[in-house]
Structure 1
Amino acid sequence: MAGEIHGVQKIVQDKYKKAFYFHCASHRLNLVINDISKIVEIRNTIGTVKDVIVFFRESTLRRNLIPNIPLFCISINFVDVHHHINLITRTCEKQRSEVDSNFADIFSYALSICETLNIEVGKPRICGRQIHRSNYESDSAEDYFRKSIFIPYLDHLILALKTRFSKEHEVAFSLFNILPKNIKSLDVKSFAIKVGNLYNIENLESELNIWREYLSQSQIAENITIEDLIQHCKFFPAIKDSCILLLTLPCTTCTIERSFSTLRRIKTWIRATMGQDRLVGLALLSIHRNRLLNISNFSTKILDEFCQNNRRLVFS
């Protein structure tokens, strides 16, 4: 499917030269984790973290012992994502350039934890040929772990971030700059040259200047959807074409993950025969349980409704 030589990607791009291949946006960071999992110690650590997550996730009582992860932002476009990824990459590169001092702080903190747990930290034995773990020559345990784990980890992470979040799609996703919340700081001339040459959109620069003035004087909300924004583009054909192109770009959402996590707790093996209506009702109660606090006498009303019905229980 994604093959650059014989896959569907190659077939489409042979016919449409300017077509872009977009990998699943939801799994890009997962693929970065997979790339750094080539280091055995990192892979083992990730496996341990997954076991801890499963331990808390599969029990409602244990789940209540840890705080909820806050929602950092409601929505964000690829341009902002790319900017944040670049910040992370530059931070990792800075860590790599000052690897000795940075790892010294990490190692001293790890030693303090090991002392609390009565764990002795030593340098692994070095042999002539080793295929099951790292075999770096070193003068101390700190030197060994820096060479075998920390430096390869940073190198793999930087390479994976640059590969998975390359600048290949930056021009396509820069179309988000025509939205009301982004156009105020837009460099119209350079934007029109890059986008106009890629998509052959005529009169884009002149329309962008008028479009910016139109948005500043109108009452259009900054969080307006692209579908609604097209309704304001009757006299802006180039802007309308840009909005249509925006609608073709892939998007991602994590909202559906809430239902997956909830169903894992609700539909257990002892409840596998429940009907669809009951399953949907329990899922809604679990996902939106905070809203129940705003309903006065919710439990009392539910009990009254059950009391008014026949004794026969309906489980579906």
Structure 2
Amino acid sequence: MSIPNRRVCKDVAREGQGRAAAPPEVNETITLTLSETTWSEKYKSIRVFKENFCAILEALETLSRDGNNATRKHAYQLHAAASKVSFIFSLVLIAKYSALLEPTVNVLQSVSLDAVQASQHIGRILKLIRNHRKNPEKVTDEIFKDATPAIAEKIGLAEDMKSIPRTAKRQQNRSNHPAKSPSEFWRRSITIPYLDSIINYLEIRFSEENGPSFTLTKLHPAQMKNISLEELEEACEEFKNFTLWKKIWEKKPESIKLSVSVVEILKETEDFFLKLRRLLKILVALPCTTCTVKRPFSSLRRIKTWLRSTMSEARLAMMSVHTGNTFSKTSTISSTK
């Protein structure tokens, strides 16, 4: 999208937010994009997109009329896709459960991370979602009550929310579940599959098998003060010097215990706590999230990944490529003899 079209989109969005008495700070966050490397930005983007959906839809409608050929075509396609009941229902449903997970994701990506407490909170969220899965009718009705006045009535889809999509003989491009009411149709098509996917994901990521890795965080001084020596020994049975390790940190000021990082703690284990040093190294390298790293979709992938898999570090060091120079195979072979 060109810069003038972006300005039109922002201007229309700001006007729509002003009529809806939206807070002024929303104007600057309306252009958030999904991040491939930061989970918290994904949840924040979903929340902001839902809050400004009507203004964004109005901006797309304006661009579909006033933009150039490419912009009009692209804006029209986006507007047509977003003006469907299935899109609105999915948006409100995803935003509902993203609000539950966003604080936990922020904790998992924070500097002072308490992985054990975060895992316990995930367990409470998982229990809540399981209860919702047992009663999907209530969840679907709540989504309808939230989506109809907030979005559907403003964009003229209130009547479509009350009707059942056409049932075809063959399910090919969309869900084709038999239903007697709109609530039953969207419950079978979207609510139940979405809840199942969240439950399945959380059970895999925070399963009981990952429990021992989370208990390594109890070796941090800020965590040791809240647990007993027996609980600390149970967390890591192979390490036998828990008493001495805990006594060392009990004598240090409280401010140091809370601010010290795991890397700094490693310096305290260089000579006398070799097994503990090994455990702390595992804790440092343990990823708490599985966000996509920047290299897979970066242009440096060809240099950093593909070349390094077939060439040694010695050949890559100080090597530069000049596209303006051409070399023949014969001269290259003869120069290396």
TM-score (norm 2): 0.48
Change (3 A) 1:191 1:129: farther
Q: Distance in 2 between the 1:104 and 1:83 partners?
A: 29
1:229 matches 2:299: no
Query: Where does residue 265 of structure 1 map in the other structure?
Result: none
Name the amino acid aligned to 1:116. Answer: K
Return the letter of the residue paired with 1:213.
Answer: K
**Any idea what the Cα deviations from partners look like across 1:101-128, whole Å, max 9, x if unmatched?**
2321221222223233221221012233
Q: What do residues 146-183 of structure 1 show as CA deviations (whole Å, max 9, x unaligned)? A: 11111111111111221233332321231111101111
Aligned residue type for 2:156: N
CA–CA separation in structure 1 for the residues paired with 2:244 and 2:87: 55
Equivalent residue, structure 2, for 1:152 = 193
Q: Is 1:166 paired with 2:207? A: yes
Quick one: distance in 1 between partners of 2:129 and 2:164?
A: 26
Letter in 2 for 1:115: E
Q: Within 2, Cα distance between the matches of 1:251 and 1:140?
A: 43
* 1:209 aligned residue (233, 243, 260): 243
Aligned to 1:178: 219
Q: 1:130, 1:93 → 2: CA distance?
A: 29
AA partner of residue 117 (structure 1) = I
2:147 alignment partner, SS class: helix
Distance 1:126 1:116, change over 3 A: same
Instruction: Confirm whether residue 195 of structure 1 aligns to residue 236 of structure 2.
Output: yes
Match of 1:291 in 2: none
Aligned partner (choices 279, 296, 311) of residue 242 of structure 1: 279
- Quote the Cα distance in structure 2 between the aligned partners of 1:111 and 1:230: 55
Q: Is the 8 A contact 1:208 1:239 kept in 2?
A: no
Equivalent in the alignment of 1:114: 152
Q: Are the structure 2 counterparts of residues 195 and 74 from structure 1 closer, same or farther at C-alpha, using a change threshold of 3 Å?
A: closer
AA paired with 1:118?
G
* Distance verdict in 2 for CA 1:215–1:92, change over 3 Å: same
Q: Secondary structure at the match of 2:168?
A: coil
1:229 & 1:104 partners in 2: Cα distance?
A: 51
Contact 1:28 1:164 in 2 (8 A): no
When residues 102 and 244 of structure 1 are mapped into structure 2, their CA distance, relative to the original with a 3 A threshold, is closer
Deviates more, 1:88-97 or 1:140-149: 88-97
CA distance in 2, matches of 1:182, 1:146: 43
Question: Which consecutive residues of structure 2, in runs of 5 or more, have no partner in the other structure?
Answer: 1-36, 43-81, 92-105, 298-337
Contact 1:172 1:195 in 2 (8 A): no
The whole-number CA distance in structure 1 between the counterparts of 2:124 and 2:133 is 14
Backbone CA RMSD of aligned residues: 4.0
Amino acid at match of 2:180: D
Rounded to whole Å, the distance in 1 between the matches of 2:189 and 2:171 is 13
2:252 counterpart residue number: 218
State the distance in 1 between where 2:207 and 2:257 align.
Answer: 31
TM-score normalised to structure 1 length? 0.51
Residue 100 of structure 1 corresponds to: 137
Counterparts of residues 16-27 of structure 1 (less than 5 Å): none
Partners in 2 of 1:109 and 1:243 — Cα distance?
A: 47
Aligned pair count reads 195
Q: Match for residue 7 of structure 2?
A: none
**CA apart distance, 1:189:** 3.0
In 2: Cα distance, 1:98 partner to 1:88 partner: 16
Distance in 2 (CA, whole Å) between partners of 1:103 and 1:168 is 33
1:223 corresponds to which letter in structure 2?
A: S
